[in-house]
A and B are shown apart, each in its own frame.
Chain A
Amino acid sequence: QKEVEQDPGPLSVPEGAIVSLNCTYSNSAFQYFMWYRQYSRKGPELLMYTYSSGNKEDGRFTAQVDKSSKYISLFIRDSQPSDSATYLCAMSRRNTPLVFGKGTRLSVIA
């Protein structure tokens, strides 16, 4: 079993929809959870950073971590065509390199 599992999609939604992106993981020692967004032919850029469990909100984006279920989510409200990108989850234990999911490709159709 891979340490981090992420559905690659592609996921296609209409503009204005609520998008839910998810990752599951197997290593209960993971403490740091991140979501990156990657546009075509660009490097990943950090969207959300969460330590341990709980929710974090930033504008239209909400990150949730459920350590008991080993499950993290990213919600995008009022999705826009500019949100079309690949979304990568990443997580790690303290002082160890990040482990990335394979990414979910999202298309928001105007």
Chain B
Amino acid sequence: NAGVTQTPKFRVLKTGQSMTLLCAQDMNHEYMYWYRQDPGMGLRLIHYSVGEGTTAKGEVPDGYNVSRLKKQNFLLGLESAAPSQTSVYFCASSYWTGDSNQPQHFGDGTRLSIL
């Protein structure tokens, strides 16, 4: 039972390069999320999705794009990487019951360095 799987685990990019981070979940969750975690800043929400084909902005969306073409996958794209985007990126997913917020299940992160 894999849960939430993030690919790749590590990556080094040069400023201006683009890349896509992949998140896959096998729990049939409706909601999926992308966070970044920086020292002293905690977890900050970048974008999230409440279902296939829908996305919404979080707290720090600038410089990122997302897509949710399939229910089990949530992609995070960096079109032109900047050193300020050096961070650890976490994907999470959760059920939606329509009546209450359910806990999120997290992947183990992608460590991204932008030189």
Contacts and interface: CB of A to CB of B under 8 A. Distances in A.
Nearest to A34: B103
A43 B90 contact: yes
B41 A102 contact: yes
Given A43-B108, A43-B109, A97-B58, A92 B101 contact: yes
Chain A interface size band reads: 20 to 34
B50 to A, nearest CB: 9
Given A42-B108, A44-B90, A32 B101 contact: yes
B36 to A, nearest CB: 12
Contacts of A95: 101
Interface stretch (A45-53, A56-64, A65-73, A76-84): A45-53
Interface string B60-98: 000000000000000000000000000000101000000
Contacts of A74: none
A8 B90 contact: no
A101 B90 CA distance: 16
A88 interface: yes
15 contacts: A34-B103, A41-B109, A43-B92, A44-B43, A44-B90, A44-B106, A46-B105, A94-B100, A94-B101, A96-B101, A97-B33, A97-B48, A97-B58, A102-B41, A102-B42
Interface of B: 4, 33, 40-45, 48, 58, 90, 92, 100-101, 103-109
Closest 7 CB pairs of A and B: A43-B106, A102-B42, A100-B43, A32-B101, A46-B103, A43-B108, A44-B106
